[in-house]
């Protein structure tokens, strides 16, 4: 019934390395169990319950790491495997294309932790939202991990002291796909933490994280309203201005630039570790009255048009832009900004090798220092001031 073709991203899940990752992690059982429950659904409502339950189960298992460093790859490949099953599912009752899209969205949100960004109703805690990304560049090496996703899975439910208050971390993972950002996924997920419903509490910090360059962390000072030509995990591109998200507060027209309110100098001083932390103020702009882009080391100039934020012109820049735009539109004076982690490389040349000692060491060190960065981001917040 209106089955749809699988995506290029979903098709990669059938390759040997992803299947080996699933077998070695225990996530390989997710797909046959999901298919069996889906086939047993008697109507669309029943199918929705199945999809939501299996999506939540994936997330719950991914963040249950017993104090060890999480591996983001099993969750990623399991989600894609379930998504492919859902696309080709042929039930005995009518499922329209819109129904199937809604079920796919439900699977995505539940398995990415977007439904689990819930904090205790305690005014004494500090609520910290941290987001990561899926693995990417998978056509280069399908075994890749993304340290920002690793950090999100590992830090979910983490707590630490900030002055006389306890910070509680909740996390979520985002796809490396242009269409989800165009569709407002960032705003739907993060807006409730800037403008909560009656009876809920707003976040005290919202920190987006992605993988950056070699050997260092970058704190991105400025974010630009521009998408470059780079392809996403579905091999699709969407170059041009960042499109607005319908139904969410934002100035019109959208500003060309937004800025981090993370206490960047305090982070550099307090979160020192194996990797240097760089305060990245560079942008690429088209200056007012000009036509050609130029690189500015100290941020944008008045009236310029964005061509790249400190984090470039890919999805990491865009999530940083959308997050800080929400902060400004809701007039929340809280720490909000973007952190780029060092690259996490798998050095083993043998495609059957899914890890190696250097990979394990780097992954652990990146996450440990990211935790310190998150803690340092709350500098001043415990006393009710904004850094």
Q: Is residue 24 part of a domain?
A: yes
Number of domains the chain contains: 2
Whether cis (ω within 30° of 0) applies to the bond prior to 269 is no
Instruction: Check whether residue 42 and residue 135 sit in a common domain.
Output: no
Euclidean distance between CA atoms 184 and 187, whole angstroms: 5
Instruction: Check whether residue 231 and residue 367 sit in a common domain.
Output: yes
Residue 110's Cβ-count burial label (10 Å; 0-12, 13-18, 19+) is: buried
Instruction: Check whether residue 70 and residue 149 sit in a common domain.
Output: no
Torsion, CA 305, CA 311, CA 314, CA 315, rounded to 10: -110
| Structural contact between residues 54 and 82, judged by C-beta atoms closer than 8 angstroms | yes
Could you give the maximum distance between any two Cα atoms of the chain, in Å?
63
| Structural contact between residues 281 and 297, judged by C-beta atoms closer than 8 angstroms | yes
From residue 17, how far is each of 23, 24, 122 by CA, in Å? 10, 10, 44
* pLDDT computed for residue 386 by the predictor: 38
Instruction: Check whether residue 106 and residue 133 sit in a common domain.
Output: no
Torsion, CA 4, CA 319, CA 51, CA 20, rounded to 10: 80
Stretches where the chain sits below pLDDT 70 are 1-2, 382-387
Q: Is residue 116 part of a domain?
A: no
Picking from 111, 130, 165, the residue at the C-terminal end of a domain is 111
pLDDT tens for 207-226 read 999 999 999 999 999 999 99
Instruction: Check whether residue 28 and residue 173 sit in a common domain.
Output: no
Q: What is the pTM of this model?
A: 0.96
Instruction: Check whether residue 139 and residue 275 sit in a common domain.
Output: yes
* pLDDT computed for residue 2 by the predictor: 61
Instruction: Check whether residue 264 and residue 373 sit in a common domain.
Output: yes
| Structural contact between residues 241 and 225, judged by C-beta atoms closer than 8 angstroms | yes
- DSSP state at residue 26: T
Instruction: Check whether residue 147 and residue 57 sit in a common domain.
Output: no
Instruction: Check whether residue 107 and residue 137 sit in a common domain.
Output: no
* pLDDT computed for residue 382 by the predictor: 53
Q: Is residue 234 part of a domain?
A: yes
The candidate with the shortest Cα–Cα distance to 24, out of 355, 345, 344, is 355
Picking from 91, 111, 131, the residue at the C-terminal end of a domain is 111
Instruction: Check whether residue 193 and residue 98 sit in a common domain.
Output: no
Euclidean distance between CA atoms 144 and 137, whole angstroms: 8
| Residue ranges making up the domain that contains 153 | 122-383
């Amino acid at each position: 019934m209106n089955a749809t073709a699988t995506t290029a991203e979903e098709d990669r899940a059938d390759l040997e390395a992803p299947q080996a990752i699933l077998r070695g992690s225990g996530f390989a059982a997710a797909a046959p169990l999901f298919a069996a429950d889906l086939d047993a659904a008697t109507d669309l409502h029943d199918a929705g319950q199945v999809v939501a339950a299996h999506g939540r189960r994936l997330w719950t298992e991914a963040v249950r790491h017993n104090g060890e460093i999480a591996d983001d790859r099993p969750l990623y490949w399991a989600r894609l495997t379930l998504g492919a099953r859902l696309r080709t599912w042929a039930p005995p009752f009518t499922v329209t294309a819109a129904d199937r899209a809604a079920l796919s969205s439900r699977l995505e949100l539940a398995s990415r932790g977007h439904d689990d960004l819930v904090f205790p109703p305690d005014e004494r805690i500090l609520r910290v939202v941290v987001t990561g990304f899926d693995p990417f560049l998978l056509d280069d090496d399908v075994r890749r991990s993304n340290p920002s996703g690793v950090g999100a899975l590992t830090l979910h439910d983490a707590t630490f002291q900030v002055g006389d208050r306890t910070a509680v971390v909740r996390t979520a993972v985002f796809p490396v796909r242009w269409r989800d950002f165009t569709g407002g996924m960032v705003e739907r997920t993060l807006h409730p933490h800037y403008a909560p419903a009656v009876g809920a509490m707003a976040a005290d910090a919202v920190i987006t994280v992605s993988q950056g360059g070699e050997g260092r962390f970058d704190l991105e000072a400025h974010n630009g309203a521009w998408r470059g030509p780079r392809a996403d995990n579905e091999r699709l591109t969407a170059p041009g201005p960042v499109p607005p998200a319908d139904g969410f507060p934002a100035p019109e027209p959208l500003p060309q630039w937004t800025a981090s309110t993370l206490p960047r100098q305090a982070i550099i001083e307090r979160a020192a570790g194996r990797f240097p932390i760089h305060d990245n103020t560079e942008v690429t702009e088209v200056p007012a009255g000009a036509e050609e882009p130029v690189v500015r080391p100290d941020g944008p100039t008045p009236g310029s048009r964005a061509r790249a934020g400190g984090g470039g012109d890919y999805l990491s820049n865009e999530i940083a832009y959308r997050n800080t735009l929400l902060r400004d539109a809701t007039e929340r004076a809280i720490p909000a900004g973007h952190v780029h982690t060092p690259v996490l490389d798998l050095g083993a040349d043998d495609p059957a090798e899914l890890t190696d000692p250097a990979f394990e060491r780097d992954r652990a060190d990146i996450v440990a220092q990211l935790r310190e960065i998150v803690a340092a981001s709350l500098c001043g917040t415990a006393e009710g001031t904004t850094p």
